[in-house]
Amino acid sequence: MESDRSHWRMAKASKQRPCPAISGNILSAECGAGRNSRYKCPPDCGYNPLGIQNYGQLLAIEDGLDAKAARWIGREDPARNPKLVDRVDRARAESSGHGIHATFAWHLFFLKDSSGSTCAQRWEQAGFPGLNNDERNLFRAKMQTRIMLIEVQRVLDHERLEAIDRLAADSTPMILVDRSMAARAARFSTLLSWAFPMPHFWRLSGSVVSLTDMGPFSPAEILAETIRHLGGPGSPEEDRLWLAENFVRVERAITATANERLRRMYAMIDASWGHAIYDLHAPFAECRAALDREPAVEPALLEESERAEKFTEARTWFDDSPEARAIALNQGRPLLGTVLLRPGSWKIQASSGSRLDQLRKLFEQRLGNRVQFSRERRDDLGTRLAENVPATSDPDIIVPRLLEHVHAPAFSISKMPISPSASPAALSELVRGNEWKTFPDEPVPALDGHTPREAASNPALRPRLIQLMKSHVRGVDEENLQKGGHSDINPLLRELGLHEIDFPPPPRRTSSPRDHERDSGEDDEDEISNASSRARPVTGPVLPPLPRDRPLTADEAEARVQAAIAGFERAGDALETISASGSTIVDDLLQVTDGLIEEHDFHFLVPFLISIWFVLVPAGSRAPLLPRETLRKALRRDLGLMTSTADLEKVPDWLIQNRRQPALTLYVMGNCTGNLPRVPKNMRPRPEVQTVIGLILATVIEELDRAVRG
């Protein structure tokens, strides 16, 4: 070992370095001028900037190269298309990262002049003026950029993924190196993206469009149907070139079609928050005794909001019918609704129209003439969700074929024996474990009513089962990543004999995708400024930095909220400060909640939004980038989760237990509830709207914390 060190010192002293390509020493200048061109460099050489172990150096080279390429295409290329600037300006005006990158990629690598040369080829013919050896090698690799439909099969580590190209008939596994994607990818994530081959691996370039199943349609079928609908050529190689020119159009069509499917599904959901009021025509104790004789009724705890309405007791009414247990997939005891008791009048409430109808019927049968119906209210969440799905300005791009087989999911609310200290990950693992026990032998509509075990041995149904299980595997991986769980679905795959998709689960990942936003080349031309780099430091209450590796404690959350409130005499000053930082969070949130809550209800939540902002974005910080579409998708996700998996009678608990900042969420929601009595009754949000406001605030805390801390 000592002789090796001496050899290294001698090589360094003479400006030489060991070169595995020639099995000897080489001058450093000769290495720099000839690596990966004159010399065939191995991937593990410490001086090879195109090798995996020098990935950070590769990113730095790529940054400089992309800036030079942008200058060439924009100013130095005499044959450039004059429409380029117009297309880039339009993409910038639309804040379209897809559009900006696609425009540059098309004009640089694909669009040919009258002589049949691309802009990149003309730069090469000119001798790549201004590029060094490493940049020339990297650009020659980029000249092989192509559109791929990438299906991730394995996440190898924090930088590498193994994937196949679903656009190729006989695709073989390839290694992709991309930190950002490795930090967030799941098995069978499918990505429409630009990619190019390096000497030892593949790289993603530019923006990525994630495709997930639409009902029975796989990502490959979704793309094929979209190409056909938009008039694409129809042959594999022609499709690749057509996709390069029409990347943004395809992305818009897929997004518009997915939104339309979602809108139709929401419109079909029976998710009405409803309640009915009954006046008591018999003594309170007699009515309560009659209610408690019902076998399906058990005592429940009152929420603070229910106490504020003068209710003194609560009962849970279960649904023990076989149909309800089937919908609940044997996950605990299904709930029908709740009964809230107070002298003079009772309230019964349920989470869907059909459940409220059923509960009213059973309640009236049990109580008889002791009670008399007074009034009821129903708030259709499904319709609200459907109205909140963004609509396209060009309905012709929606793919009709992909709107087939839209079904409303049946959801159930169940009570399960769970430890109060159980984490969201542990809860998910318990639910999934219970589901997987019976899954192989339960009939599945997508398999024509056959069980997965039957479909596995049926050649006609096995491909459908594999596609179905890919979705399950992807969902497990994504949930493990989001909640820090370690559920393993592979034993179920092996029980069904699905060796084709039996890949090892991703490693436990702690790195943040936010740390690697630049990694896949998004918005990589030097003329393109990232919005976050333009954001100015925040002024306002001076608070200590947020803890990086843990959420705020209850005391910290309270202290920071109080400081945020005390930092401004008027809410208008705080809003001006937020706006001056470059953030549009207030306007964005107003837009994404339009149709979900009324404008006067939005005004009620603004003070709490202000305190959330200054708690999570202390003075001196840069305003985080939180796009409107991110807020919209997060809110849509949380509303969907709440209607499908949460006990709607216990929504506040669910919102707190599943958050990145549970103590802060609890404190803000407590403040929100505590301020309700101060609001005039004619302006006070209705109880069901109060729940939606709580969810909105919890979602903002979640996404703002993610943007700030990663």
pLDDT higher than threshold 80 for residue 323: no
Point out the least confidently predicted range of 144-153, 160-169, 259-268.
259-268
Lowest mean pLDDT among 47-61, 176-190, 634-648: 634-648
- In this model, does residue 344 exceed pLDDT 70? yes
Q: Is residue 473 in a domain?
A: yes
Comparing 75-84, 107-116, 524-533, the range with the smallest average pLDDT is 524-533
Range scoring the smallest mean pLDDT among 294-298, 547-551, 656-660: 656-660
pLDDT at 250 over 80: yes
Residue position matching structure tokens 């117009």: 86
Specify the range with the lowest mean pLDDT, choosing from 90-99, 290-299, 521-530. Answer: 521-530
Which residues are paired to 315 by β-bridges?
Answer: 299, 339
The stretch 516-524 carries a mean pLDDT of 40
Torsion on CA atoms 262, 268, 273, 277, rounded to nearest 10: 170
Residue 148 lies in a domain: no
* Cβ(609)–Cβ(697) below 8 Å: yes
Q: What percent of the chain has pLDDT over 90?
A: 30
- CB-based contact 594:511 (threshold 8 Å): no
Which amino acid, 133? Answer: N
Q: Three-state SS for 392?
A: coil
In the prediction, which pLDDT does 511 show?
41
551 and 694 in a single domain? The answer is yes
What are 183-201's pLDDT values in tens digits? 889 999 999 999 999 989 9
Task: For residue 320, give the amino acid letter.
Answer: D
What mean pLDDT do residues 209-227 have?
A: 90
Listed range (58-67, 111-120, 173-182, 674-683) with the worst mean pLDDT: 674-683
Q: Is 185 left (phi over 0), alpha (psi -120 to 50) or beta?
A: beta
Helical pair 424-438 and 462-483, crossing angle rounded to 10 deg: 160
Residue 191 is assigned to a structural domain of this protein = no
**What SS3 class is residue 656?**
helix
Q: What is the mean pLDDT of residues 28-52?
A: 87
Does any domain span residue 513? no
Note the pLDDT of residue 141.
94
589 and 698 belong to one structural domain: yes
In the structure encoding, which two tokens stand for residue 8, read together?
């290294």
Band of residue 90 on the pLDDT scale cut at 50, 70, 90: low
| Same domain, yes or no: 584 and 691 | yes
Decide: helix, strand or coil at residue 538: coil
C-alpha 291/C-alpha 405 separation (Å) is 43
The residue-averaged pLDDT of 31-41 equals: 89
User: Which among 704, 675, 705 is positioned nearest to 690, based on CA atoms?
Assistant: 675
According to the model, what pLDDT value does residue 398 have?
Answer: 95
- Tell whether 349 and 480 lie within a shared domain: no
Q: Containing domain of residue 456, as a range? A: 419-497
Residues 596 and 705 both lie in one domain:
yes
386's tokens = 């459907």
Rounded Cα distance between 379 and 597, Å, is 12
Could you tell me if 569 and 676 lie in one domain?
yes
Asked if residue 489 lies in contact with residue 436, where contact means CB atoms within 8 angstroms, the answer is yes
Residue 348 belongs to a domain: yes
Residue 416 has pLDDT above 60, yes or no: no
Contact call for residues 232 and 246 (beta carbons, < 8 A): yes
User: Do 357 and 466 reside in the same domain of the chain?
Assistant: no
Same domain, 436 and 381: no
Per the structure, the count of domains in the chain is: 4
Identify whether 53 is part of a domain. no
The helix (H) or strand (E) run that includes residue 147 is: strand 146-155
Which pLDDT score, from 0 to 100, does residue 446 have? 82
Give the pLDDT confidence score for residue 657 in this predicted structure: 61
Is residue 213 in some structural domain? no
Any idea which of 2-6, 30-34, 475-479 has the lowest mean pLDDT?
2-6
Tell me the pLDDT of the chain averaged across its residues.
80
Same domain, 569 and 445: no
Contacts of 69-77 with CB under 8 Å at 24 or more apart are 69/104, 69/108, 69/123, 69/139, 69/525, 70/104, 70/525, 70/526, 70/527, 71/526, 72/119, 72/123, 73/104, 73/107, 73/108, 73/119, 74/527, 76/129, 77/119, 77/122, 77/123
Which pLDDT score is estimated for 655? 59
Query: Does the pLDDT value for residue 162 go beyond 50?
Result: yes
| % of the chain exceeding 70 in pLDDT | 79
* pLDDT value for 690: 78
Q: Are 697 and 592 in a shared domain?
A: yes
Q: CA 698, CA 658: separation in Å to the nearest integer?
A: 10
- If asked whether residues 299 and 426 sit together in one domain, one would say no
Contact between residue 492 and residue 436 where contact means Cβ atoms under 8 Å apart: yes
374 and 277 in a common domain? yes
- Pair of tokens at residue 261: 């499917």
Residue 336 lies in a domain: yes
> To which H or E segment does residue 375 belong?
strand 371-380
Give one DSSP letter per residue of 214-257, joined into a string. Answer: BTTB-HHHHHHHHHHHTT---SHHHHHHHHHHSHHHHHHHHHHH
Residue 411 pLDDT grade (very low, low, confident, very high; cuts 50, 70, 90): low
Q: What is the pTM of this model?
A: 0.65
Tokens of 387: 């109205």
Q: Is 687 helix (H, G, I), strand (E, B) or coil?
A: helix
List phi, psi (to 5°) of 308.
Answer: -65, -25
CB contact at 8 A, 184 and 506: no
- The reported pLDDT for the residue numbered 621 is 63
Q: Give the H or E element holding residue 652.
A: helix 651-657
